[in-house]
Amino acid sequence: MGNNLEKGSGKESFLNGLRRIRNKVYQSSLEVLIDEELEKRLLSKNQKTILYVGIKYDYTRKFWGLSYEHYNFYETLKNMDCSLIYFDYDRLREKFGSAKVSKMLREAVYLYHPDLLFYFHYQDWIQHEVWREISEELPTKTIIYLADDHWRYDETKSLWKIFNLICITDSEGVKKRQSEGFSNAFLTQWGCNNHIFRNLNLPKKYDVTFVGRSYGARKDFVDTIRNHGIDIRTFGLGWEDSCRVPQSELIRIYNQSKISLNISFASQGEKIQIKGRDFEAVGCGSLLLTKDTNEIASYFVPGEEIVTYTDANDALKKLEYYLNNEDERKKIAKKGFERLMLGHTMDKRVADIFNAAENLNKKGLKS
């Protein structure tokens, strides 16, 4: 009995210690939390200050690695000539809860007076009255970036109504908002963070690769190609290896691929989407084979800078042709890379977004 009491007392002591630590964290003042928790790079007062709000971990799962947003937006902002405050709201919410994180965001805006608040939306975790106060009452201009807008349009409507600039990668979403009187809808697009995704001129060890999760029509698409003798390697959750590809390996795969295939089906609905890989693969020197759409033709010239297909059978023919015509394949890949570096880097995308926000009158944005 004595041993049991000792074990119980030890466990209770341990739990009390955890509670004390937790209470100390939660009782810390907002000023202390802002000072200790936020990553900050503060330059001279003459530089613009950007407060970036986004998730740090891939789909908020730390064990999956860092998020697309972290690699492509935060890392891009780090290379810009501006003061930068990183508000990684998934990590902060996990630690402090949504209510306190909302107060922390408000505190950070009042403390650092950012010129722009750039928010990549994942989940609706910040209290709307905080967004509204910043957007409508303070000098800071607010930007919301919405992904998967074709199936999240109605879900996010109450949120994007209270931001000064709405950024969408779907042209139909922009037109729909403008028809509803929202002149602050801005068409942007994914791009390539060329500080990370670089052409390393590695030997091409793969004929064809596809990187991405296995779901829906993607598997049937790949099976059609494989069944006709094309050596296509697949990487990502749900395929043979069924694991998330680390960033370094992703860059290496693109660099070592003769042809990078993009199967553009969205994870929900039947909308054909432009994907980040449409730009990242090109930025690593691979020939891109992607779905033939008006949208992709707005960014690259099909047949000259990339190659497009209409369906799996057409993709099969294109793969066979370009695997057997190396000089032509290399020529198109080179032109695609040159086009990307001129206009489709994440540096260019973010700069265009910021210019759009700065040229808008805060009080005259919404209908």
Predicted confidence at residue 271, as pLDDT, reads 66
At residue 23, the pLDDT reads 53
Instruction: Write down the mean pLDDT value for the chain.
Output: 90
Cβ 185 vs Cβ 174: under 8 Å? yes
Kindly tell me if the per-residue pLDDT of 364 is higher than 50: no
Q: Return the bridge partners of 289, or none.
A: 261, 307
So what's the pLDDT on residue 27? 64
Average pLDDT value for residue range 181-194: 95
pLDDT greater than 80 at residue 163: yes
Confidence of residue 366 (pLDDT cuts 50, 70, 90): very low
pLDDT in tens, 217-267: 888 899 999 999 999 999 988 888 768 889 999 999 999 999 999 997 655
CATH class of residue range 206-344: alpha beta
Higher pLDDT, 359 or 19: 359
Mean pLDDT along residues 294-314: 95
Q: Is the pLDDT of residue 3 over 90?
A: no
| The pLDDT of residue 169 | 95
- Mean pLDDT over 209-216 rounds to 88
User: Could you tell me which CATH class the domain 28-187 is placed in?
Assistant: alpha beta
Per-residue pLDDT reduced to its tens digit, 77-92: 999 999 999 999 999 9
Mean pLDDT of 207-213: 94
Buried b (16+ CB within 10 A) or exposed e, 141-161: bbbbbbbbbbebbeebeebbb
> Does the pLDDT value for residue 5 go beyond 50?
no
pLDDT at site 360: 84
The CATH 3.40.50.2300 domain(s) of the chain lie at 28-187
Taking only the tens place, the pLDDT of each residue in 21-78 is: 555 555 679 999 999 999 999 998 789 999 999 999 999 999 989 999 999 999 999 9
